[in-house]
Amino acid sequence: MNEMIGHKFKSYDHRPPKSVEKFRDESGYLVIPSLQIYAADHCTQRCQFCTTSSPHRRAHQGDVDGFIKYINRMYDQGVKFDTINILGGEPFLHKNLADFNRRLRAGMTYRARFLITSNGFWLGEMDEYPSGLEAGDGITFSRYSDVIHDLGGLDRYNSLVEKLKRTRPEEISTNDAFHFREWHFTEEPRFGYPLDCELADNVSLTDTGEVHRCCVAPASRFSPRVTKAFLDRVDELEYRIDREEQGIELRDWLKSPLPDACAYCTAHAETPYYPLRSLSVIGDQIPFTDGQNKDMLVSGFAPPEAPGVWTVGPEAVISFPKLPQGRTRSPNLTFLFAATPHLSPVVPEMNVTIEIPGTTWKDRWVMPPRHPQQFFGNTTLYTLFVPNEIAQSVSPLQLKFSIDRPHSPLEAGASPDSRPLGFFLQYVIVEI
């Protein structure tokens, strides 16, 4: 272990993760039970606590040639997998999954089992085993309560699966995804937890050659809940096959203890499970473009402009007359604000305190965010978690923003505009 890696793993050198015990050494190869690859990053569903952050990702079609290249490169480096798991997002959103599957099998230099996992959203549209997937070793339907509901209930869902099973009984199975871990990233390390993580068995590969220890790591940049502390360390969970000076062999890296980054992620065994809940969105997004929803802007906002609305002055208040309802045991309502601060050499950073009038709840944003990767498109999403009991204790729920240093473009020497601007708001997403 070189000095750099030794430093990275210094906290946990004494405690190898259990997951490594599941790896085998055979004929000179490190054999790992499964490799996850993503045929599509996006999904039909919006499950809260999705480990691949699919609800927050843009549509992306996996490049099969990239996967073939890097699976074979891993084999050349002494690493192979029993099963290649073709996942997403939702893999059936790939425009030609059958072709993807066929080419992957033909292109790999060794034989592995292939398993596609789907949420089955397409079950009602297809009477037969999906054409072209004959070469697949199996499909597992993860049963999500939302998909079951959309397809007409559990009995109908099961009957649709049974119909497919009649043609290929050995190749189709189901598992239940009714409960999700309520996991988070943290700003402070969580030392002292048992250093094992079942997700760490799910080595994942991108089509551009990054190997990750788990599915959470590559998706973390898309998570609106990611913290700076985790992002600062996420490269500890990533191995770039093309990088010449990686400092450690791939097989040794895969066997090494989980890195310090894991102390900032709670997606491990002790995190509680809750029933699946979807991210519920009021009006999909609540846009403030072209004057939309201007009735929610109670005070402290300039007249709306086509792309959104500015706060003006030290305080601004937004009112939410309608909050999402749903079957949830989430402790929080989550607000995602697509906002851009007015910054200049005069005011290079601003603090915004957020309060709910009539309650003691308070939060704070630093603008720009301390974790600049937290982008959604070109816009930064600023997050607020409001405990449900607080949100329900006032009606309508209002958020009051106190901006520490609003200043004008005139003051900044940028334009004659003398309005003391705070941040520019495009839309808000409210999730339960």
Handedness of CA 367, 372, 373, 378 (dihedral sign): positive
Q: What ranges make up the beta strands (E) of 13-121?
A: 24-26, 29-38, 79-87, 113-118
DSSP code of 305? Answer: B
Q: Which of 108, 114, 150 is nearest to 39 (CA)?
A: 114
State the minimum distance, in angstroms, from the CB of residue 123 to ligand SF4: 14
Which residue's structure tokens are 């939302």?
A: 146
Nearer CB in complex with ligand SF4: 280/311: 280
What six digits make up the tokens of 329?
């045991």
Which CB, 144 or 310, lies closer to ligand SF4?
144
Q: Are 239 and 250 in contact (CB under 8 A)?
A: yes
Residue 257 per-residue DSSP state: P
Minimum CB distance to ligand SF4 smaller for 148 or for 386: 148
The minimum distance between CB 362 and ligand SF4, in angstroms, equals 29
For ligand SF4, the closer CB: 175 or 393: 175
Closest distance to ligand SF4 from the beta carbon of 365 (Å): 25
d(CA 244, CA 332): 45
What single-letter amino acid sits at 262?
C
Q: Which is nearer to ligand SF4, 40 or 356 (CB)?
A: 40
User: Smallest distance, Å, CB 144 to ligand SF4?
Assistant: 5
For the bound state, the minimum distance from the C-beta of residue 359 to ligand SF4, rounded and expressed in Å, comes to: 32
Q: How many CB atoms lie within 10 A of CB 318?
A: 25
Closest to ligand SF4 by CB, 90 vs 210, is 90
Distance CA 314, CA 353 (A): 10
Task: Decide whether 278 or 398 has the Cβ nearer to ligand SF4.
Answer: 278
Q: What are phi and psi of 97, to 5 degrees?
A: -65, -35
Minimum CB distance to ligand SF4, residue 19 (Å): 8
For residue 391, the one-letter residue type is A
The CB-of-264 to ligand SF4 minimum distance in angstroms stands at 8
Least gap, CB of 105 to ligand SF4 (angstroms): 23
Instruction: Tell me how far, at minimum, the Cβ of 200 lies from ligand SF4, in Å.
Output: 4
Rounded to whole angstroms, the Cα distance separating 91 from 417 reads 50
Q: Which whole-number Å values give the CA distances from 147 to 52, 121, 273, 275, in the listed order? A: 18, 6, 19, 14
* 67 contacts: CB under 8 Å, gap ≥ 6: 37, 104, 205, 207
Question: Of 50 and 71, which has the nearer Cβ to ligand SF4?
Answer: 50
Measured from the CB of residue 430, what is the shortest distance to ligand SF4 in angstroms?
18
Q: Measured between alpha carbons, how far is 1 from 10 in angstroms, rounded to an integer?
A: 11
Q: Binding residues for ligand SF4, per CB under 6 A? A: 43, 45-47, 50, 52, 54-55, 88-90, 119, 144, 197, 199-200, 213-214, 216-217, 237, 258, 261-262, 265, 267-268
Interatomic CA distance for residues 41 and 194, integer angstroms: 30
Residue whose CB is less far from ligand SF4, 248 or 317: 248
* C-alpha torsion sign, points 36, 37, 42, 44: negative
Q: Which is nearer to ligand SF4, 64 or 262 (CB)?
A: 262
The answer to whether the beta carbons of residues 384 and 335 sit under 8 Å apart is yes
